[in-house]
Structure 1
Amino acid sequence: MIRSELIQKIADENPHLTQRHVERIVNTVFEEIIDALAKGDRVELRGFGAFSVKARDARLGRNPRTGEAVQVEDK
């Protein structure tokens, strides 16, 4: 499901809300999750899932087409 489908589904199930209002609500929720993750916080939505940013060390990877070894930087 993509964002626009989520917005449409919520709007369909809540006829008292306009699609534009639902879009603002969904965008606000996503923005708050993004902001919290950018600060290094963990976001937990009970009954749905938990989100956190994980640091990954640099490593040696492979180009799937050529099989050539490639250095992958830390993230």
Structure 2
Amino acid sequence: MTKSDLIQALAEQMNLPVKDAKSIVDTIIGTMVDALAEGRGVELRGFGSFQVREYEGYTGRNPKTGEQIKVAPKKLPFFKVGKDLRDRINSEQ
């Protein structure tokens, strides 16, 4: 499912113009991105949670040349699936 698919589904289910549905989806995603950028987590009960994890720097290798390179510390978003979603996915096998 893409963002456009989500907008279309919202518009159809809520009888909204696509323009309004797009605004709603953009607001929700934008608010989540802002929270993560500030280092806060986002929890959607029944779906899962998003957190920012910090990773330390390390010495890696360039796979082509074998040369050692320093990899800088970084922060990355991490998604942890919620129990309801995990159970639903596993029951549909």
TM normalised by structure 1 equals 0.83
CA RMSD of aligned residues (A): 1.5
Which runs of 5 or more structure 2 residues have no equivalent in the other structure? 75-93
Which runs of 5 or more structure 1 residues have no equivalent in the other structure? none
1:38 aligned residue: 37
Report the Cα distance in structure 2 between the residues aligned to 1:10 and 1:55, rounded to whole angstroms: 34
Number of residues of Structure 1 aligned to a counterpart in Structure 2: 74
Tell me how far 1:57 sits from its aligned partner. Answer: 0.4
Report the Cα distance in structure 2 between the residues aligned to 1:49 and 1:22, rounded to whole angstroms: 23
**Residue identity in the other structure for 1:27:** D
Tell me how far 1:67 sits from its aligned partner. Answer: 4.0
TM normalised by structure 2 equals 0.69
**Residue identity in the other structure for 1:39:** E
Which structure would you say has the larger RCO, counting Cα contacts within 8 Å and 6 or more residues apart?
2
| Superposed structure 1 runs of 4+ greater than 6 Å apart | none
**Between structures 1 and 2, the one with greater strand share:** 2
* Cα 1:69/1:2, change in 2 over 3 Å: farther
1:73 aligned residue: 72
